Amino acid sequence: MTEVRQELMKAPEPSLDKRSLRKCLIRWIEFGQACYNYERMQGPDVLHAMVPIIDKLYKEDDVEGRKAAMKRHANFFNTTLSFLGFWHQPGH
């Protein structure tokens, strides 16, 4: 194996904690429908919600990795708008 590959195998994998996942959920609930458009639907909102997770998974000096992750999560994301769907439950 090459030296770089051995170093990568020794490096611990980044892990997600509950705090990052909670931040992602709260961002999605609060801003999930803030930037709806016909080109990417809710893609920008998905990216905004994923930022805490991207921050956790990519180191600050991995600029290219962060850019690629942000481009991936800002693409077309098709969903149906449902205002107040989290709080409002019909019949209750």
The pTM of the full predicted model, rounded to 2 decimals, is: 0.64
Q: What is the mean pLDDT of residues 7-11?
A: 54
- The count of other CB atoms within 10 Å of the CB of residue 14 is 10
Question: Which pLDDT tens digit goes with each residue over 29-53?
Answer: 887 777 777 777 778 888 888 888 8
Q: Is residue 89 predicted with pLDDT exceeding 80?
A: no
Question: Which pLDDT tens digit goes with each residue over 60-76?
Answer: 888 898 889 888 888 88
Q: What is the pLDDT of residue 78?
A: 73
Asked if 49 contacts 27 with a C-beta cutoff of 8 angstroms, the reply is: yes
